[in-house]
Amino acid sequence: MQSLDLENKDIYKLRLYVAGASPNSVKAISNIKNICETHLKDRYELEIIDIHQQPSIAQKEQIIALPLLIKKSPLPVRQFVGDMSDTAQVLRGFGI
């Protein structure tokens, strides 16, 4: 029955934009992975994009602040700027 429960739950599609190995980027990656593993286990897809390696993406997406997390689904789309250290705020934004 547990697999049926998982099928009925939304998959969170997340994209985290970071700037290389800066302290804030490293902290944001660690914090969001911890939040996802703790609160969204097996229900999330996390894509991490380093704009130093892919600068055209930052221009295309008009990113002006980093780290930036975008929750693409479930709707509504939400954006979070910073190191994701305020777990309660991130969870509220996720609707959890």
Pick from 18, 9, 82: nearest CA to 42? 9
DSSP string spanning 14-46?
EEEEE-TT-HHHHHHHHHHHHHHHHHSTTSEEE
Identify the bridge partners of residue 71 per DSSP, sorted by sequence position: 14, 78
What digits encode the pLDDT tens for the residues 38-81? 999 999 999 999 999 998 988 888 888 999 999 999 999 999 99
Domains of the chain: 15-94 (3.40.30.10)
Question: Which residue do the tokens 């897809």 mark?
Answer: 45
What DSSP character marks residue 43?
Answer: S
Q: What pTM did the predictor assign?
A: 0.87
Q: Which of 30, 10, 6, 7 is nearest to 76 (CA)?
A: 10
